[in-house]
Structures are given as C-alpha cells and as structure tokens.
Amino acid sequence: MPETHGTARPPRLYTTTEVARLFRVDPKTVTRWVRTGQLRALRTPGGHARILADDVDAALAGLTQPPPARGG
C-alpha cells in the first residue's frame, strides 16, 4: 500500500473578490451570500472569508446558484 502521509493537497480557496469576478457581481454581494449561508466560507485568522472551489464550481454549474445581485 502506498504511503499517503503529507501528500494531500490543501483545497483550492477563492477570495470574495475572485468569486465576485466569476459571478460578475460586486464583492459585497459575495460577502452577503456568505453571511446568509448561500455560500459556505472558511475564515482566515484575520477574519477574511475564503470560499471552497468545489462550492464555487457547484454554484457556477447552477446546482446551488446564489440569487442574482439586487438591481439598482
């Protein structure tokens, strides 16, 4: 059996700005999605949100599409 210690890659994480660019919305919209639970996020020690790439990919595929940004 092959050794697997230390070979697992850390998950790819996106910043709210990166997610905003992918969805073509304002970063504050992504922050709201995280705050309301529409996107899951991890928090850095400094309190910044990081969103798992798998969750972003699923949302982009329309599986868990966050609501569109409010017009205005």
- Write the CATH number for 50: 1.10.1660.10
| Domains: count for the chain | 1
**What pLDDT, on a 0 to 100 scale, did the predictor assign at position 39?**
92
- Specify if 31 maps to a domain: yes
**What pLDDT, on a 0 to 100 scale, did the predictor assign at position 72?**
53
Is pLDDT of 2 > 90? no
What is the pTM for the complete model shown? 0.72
Q: How high is the mean pLDDT of the chain? A: 85
d(CA 35, CA 40): 9
Is pLDDT of 26 > 90? yes
- Specify if 6 maps to a domain: no
d(CA 36, CA 5): 37
Dihedral angle computed from the Cα positions of residues 5, 48, 57 and 10, in that order, rounded to the nearest 10 degrees: -10
Within 10 angstroms of residue 46's Cβ, the number of other Cβ atoms is 5
